[in-house]
Amino acid sequence: MPQPDDSALTAALMEIERHVARLGWDQPARLFALVRTADLVVAEPQLADTLAADSRPADALSSIEQDTWHAGDDVVSALEAISWPDTVEGCALAIERAFLPADAEAAIPEDPEEAAAYVARHPRRQDLRVVSGVLRDGHRQSLARLASAPEELLGGPQLAPGLSDLLRSTLG
């Protein structure tokens, strides 16, 4: 059976990003299992029409949102508690963050609560949605969209290396 590659992972992440974007900004972190579409159709034949499996490449990936997963205030701890069955080829996370330009970072308070409040009210704050995904075989990819430039989608395997590493650790 063909193994998913970077293009299959990128396509799955783009689909996730479009799905999340339809609901606007200010969303909680959302977790997705990535499975081979062909395997999903075998396991759930009634999904064949919905997934248009015949028109997808043999190595296509489908995302399955983990509706019961909630990160709360500590995404790292919530992800560290996750493990996936072998039928899951990879996983992805959509998360929003606010950041400041590099020249404004020196004034960020050390206290986490004060820092969050400072960034939230800073006039040069940028809101960013990142969708990162990893596969068991080591492929990784991340996409990012700024709220201020919704027509642009940035991407690359090194865009969110810490998040990619954390997601990879959930795959065993």
- pLDDT tens across 128-147, in order? 999 999 999 999 999 999 99
Mark out the alpha helices in 33-151 (DSSP H runs).
37-43, 48-51, 75-80, 112-121
Query: Does 52 have pLDDT greater than 60?
Result: yes
User: What is the domain partition of the chain in residue ranges?
Assistant: 6-169
Q: What percent of the chain has pLDDT over 90?
A: 62
Query: Does 163 have pLDDT greater than 60?
Result: yes
User: By the 8 A CB rule, do 131 and 94 touch?
Assistant: yes
User: Structure pTM?
Assistant: 0.85
User: By the 8 A CB rule, do 72 and 78 touch?
Assistant: yes
- The helix or strand, by DSSP H or E, that contains position 3, with its residue range, turns out to be none
How far apart (Å, rounded) are the C-alpha atoms in residues 166 and 19? Answer: 23
The whole-number pLDDT of residue 129 equals: 97
CA 157 to each of CA 29, 40, 87, 109, 162: distance values in angstroms, whole numbers, following the listed order: 20, 26, 23, 31, 11
Bridge partners of residue 32, in order along the sequence = 65, 92
CA 17 to chain centre: 8
Bridge partners of residue 34, in order along the sequence = 63, 90
User: By the 8 A CB rule, do 127 and 112 touch?
Assistant: no
**Tens-digit pLDDT profile for residues 71-130:** 988 999 999 999 999 999 999 999 999 888 888 888 888 898 888 888 888 999 999 999
How far apart (Å, rounded) are the C-alpha atoms in residues 135 and 170? Answer: 10
Residue that has been written with the tokens 């970072």 in this structure: 105
φ, ψ of residue 117 to 5 degrees: the values are -65, -40
